[in-house]
Amino acid sequence: MDTWMRFMSSDGGIVFGRVEGGYLHEYASLDHPVPTGAVLSTRALTPLAPCAPGKIIALWNNYHALAAKLDKPVPTHPLFLLKPAGSVIGSGEPIRRPLSYAGKIVYEGELGIVIGRRCRDASVEEASAAIFGYTLVNDVTAADLLNENPHFAQWARAKGFDTFCCIGPSIVSGFDWRQGRLVTLLDGVERQNYPLDDMVFSPAEQVSLLSQDLTLEPGDVIACGTSVGVGSIKDGATVSITIDGIGTLSNTLTAVQAATQTAATIAAV
Amino acid sequence: MDTWMRFMSSDGGIVFGRVEGGYLHEYASLDHPVPTGAVLSTRALTPLAPCAPGKIIALWNNYHALAAKLDKPVPTHPLFLLKPAGSVIGSGEPIRRPLSYAGKIVYEGELGIVIGRRCRDASVEEASAAIFGYTLVNDVTAADLLNENPHFAQWARAKGFDTFCCIGPSIVSGFDWRQGRLVTLLDGVERQNYPLDDMVFSPAEQVSLLSQDLTLEPGDVIACGTSVGVGSIKDGATVSITIDGIGTLSNTLTAVQAATQTAATIAAV
């Protein structure tokens, strides 16, 4: 197993590589993983989300335990929505409550698959070889928006807000997901603790079936869906998601002050 | 009004600029539109989709005539799904039937908004200034998949296949959408002919409201939704969408031979 991370250096540049004993061994890129020869102390670097996906494919209803609890049949093909690239943040970055939304915000701890090679119409074997490694995802949702309109389920809107896709802290290649459990703590209290081998579609099956729908690109992330124990995050609360062998993804929900937000808006527009 | 296009040159490079009298006046980029000084004959260039959006936001139920026909109330906030960047093709490129799907494929002729500046929580005035120009979109859908699963509407899957987002042929800045009509021909027979001023949310309102949900980036495209006259495309049929002042977006649905597809897959994986 190797651990891969992405950082911002003090000059604003982005570096990616293998982390070992407090050092980053830099590699050219995720889809061209050859060492550059540079070795940097991680102490001088700011961690980022471990990849910069062009798209995030988020599965719904991919665990037997959750399907049973929801009393829904398990699907015959992955059911998914897309989260935009702009929704991604890394571990330690704040989840920002949208200015326009005062309702319930929900965490979902999930295994994330990181794609290493372009694939389309891939067999399960080809799909398996196209997986670069595994990470953690908090698939955040503005739950009250989902069914606010009775004629159209607003999956993309409810899950697509800026900062609503927490990914990190690292990507682990060679990780045996079958042995893993995912644990979610909300302000230190355990809320989710489920075995990954309860998945309906295995990671390689997901990649194979999804690659029949749309071309997967290096760096793309598939959030494998969550299981039981989903709940709401109060403003100021911290969600920490752990899979032993991958690490802990930790993010706090913050309500941005309107005054600050207005200044940011003017700068941005 | 200026007309903007994107081309591939004979050496594989991509050029963007203002087109006038058969010549491309090259500009640095859509979000930094300053002339480079280069002037190229468009005859030596291969047209591409006029921008490379990071995301495509596709609206549902944004025309009064269609809402009335569907007997649905008009929404109070734009209802949308996301189409992935990989689904984009330009005018003249084939729409490819997915290997795994033998069902009905549907065209939807739509006005497209192209974003010129990053915007978040933008007022209607700020939103209006953030619009670079307008284009045409064929928002293609594998219609039988939409409600195939009774528990989850598969918007992202049905509309996210490679080649299912036709954009082009150009972007026109300074275009007065209020005066426009959109006409869709299927193999030369008129199927859609609707006025753009029947929209529920105007382009500036869409940009403003959507920017409360997610940050819009330069090059992003908002497909404004379609109106009445949507229908299915048989394999081999050509859909041509025209708005006077913008041009004609024309694409043919092709069923790829399985043998060809297999070879392409092996190369890609």
Question: A32-51, pLDDT tens digit by residue?
Answer: 989 999 999 999 899 999 99
Q: What's residue B256's pLDDT?
A: 74
- Best B62, B124, B214, B217 member to test A by mutation, with max A CBs in 10 Å, is B214
So what's the pLDDT on residue A256?
Answer: 74
Higher pLDDT, B10 or B221: B221
CA distance B102 to B237: 15
Q: Of the candidates B233, B231, B133, B229, which has an alpha carbon nearest to the alpha carbon of residue B174?
A: B133
- State the average pLDDT over residues A147-152: 95
Distance CA B36, CA B25 (A): 8
Q: Which of A55, A121, A130 is facing B85, going by the closest CB pair? A: A55
Q: What's the pLDDT at B108? A: 98
Cα dihedral A174/A178/A179/A184 (nearest 10): 100
Establish if A152 touches chain B: CB-CB under 8 angstroms.
yes
SS3 for B253? strand
Q: Which residue reads 């808006």 in tokens?
A: A265
**Dihedral, CA of residue B225, residue B227, residue B232 and residue B233, to nearest 10:** -70
Contact B160 A213 (CB under 8 A): yes
What the block records as the tokens of B180 is 């426009």
Tell me if A61 and B152 make a contact (CB, 8 A cut-off): yes
CATH superfamily of A55-268: Fumarylacetoacetase-like, C-terminal domain (3.90.850.10)
Q: pLDDT-derived band of residue A263, with 50, 70 and 90 as boundaries?
A: very low
Check B152 against A122: CB less than 8 A apart. Answer: no
* CB proximity A213 to B under 8 Å: yes
Which residues in chain A have Cβ-Cβ distances shorter than 8 Å to B72?
151
Q: Is B238 an interface residue toward A (CB < 8 Å)?
A: no
pLDDT more than 70, % of chain B: 95
Residues of chain B positioned with their CB less than 8 A from the CB of A161: 213-214
The C-alpha atoms of residue B220 and residue A160 are separated, in whole angstroms, by 15
Distance from CA of A227 to the nearest CA of B (A): 17
* pLDDT value, residue A79: 98
Do the domains spanning A2-47 and A55-268 agree at the CATH topology level?
no
Q: Which of A214, A225, A200 is nearest to B100 (CA)?
A: A214
Could you tell me the pLDDT band of residue B267, with boundaries at 50, 70 and 90? very low
Top-level class of domain A2-47: mainly beta
CATH number of the structural domain B49-268: 3.90.850.10
Query: What number is the ipTM of this complex?
Result: 0.93
Q: Say if B257 is an interface residue toward chain A (CB within 8 Å).
A: no
Is B121 an interface residue toward A (CB < 8 Å)?
yes
The answer on pLDDT for B262 being more than 70 is no
Contacts A–B by Cβ distance under 8 A: 145
What rounded mean pLDDT belongs to chain A?
94
Residues within 8 A of B (CB atoms), A 214-233 only: 214-215, 217
At B264, the pLDDT band (50, 70, 90 cuts) reads very low
CB-nearest to A98 from B212, B261, B268 is B212
What DSSP character marks residue B119?
B
Which of these, B34, B55, B1, B217, lies nearest to B122 by C-alpha position? B217
Pairing of strands A247-255, A95-97: parallel
Over the stretch A228-244, which tens digit does the pLDDT of each residue have? 999 999 999 999 999 99
What are the residue ranges spanned by the domains of chain B? 1-47, 49-268
pLDDT in tens, B180-201: 999 999 999 999 999 999 999 9
Calculate mean pLDDT across residues A113-122. Answer: 97
Contact between chains at B152 and A119 (C-beta distance less than 8 A): no
pLDDT beyond 50 at B269: no
Please tell me the predicted confidence (pLDDT) of residue A200. Answer: 98
Kindly state whether A154 is in contact with chain B, defined as any CB-CB distance less than 8 angstroms.
yes
**pLDDT, mean of residues A133-151:** 97
B162 part of contact set with chain A, CB < 8 Å? yes
Q: Collect all residues with Cβ–Cβ distance below 8 Å to A69 and sequence separation of at least 6.
A: A228
Among B185, B204, B198, which Cα is nearest to B134's?
B204
**How do residues A150-180 score in pLDDT, each as one tens digit?**
999 999 999 999 999 999 999 999 999 999 9
Query: pLDDT above 90 covers what percent of chain B?
Result: 93
Residue A152 token pair = 């159209």
Cis peptide before B169 (omega within 30 of 0): yes
Q: What average pLDDT does this structure show over A58-72? A: 97
Each residue's pLDDT tens digit, B52-80: 999 999 999 999 999 999 999 999 999 99
The pLDDT assigned to B257 comes to 61
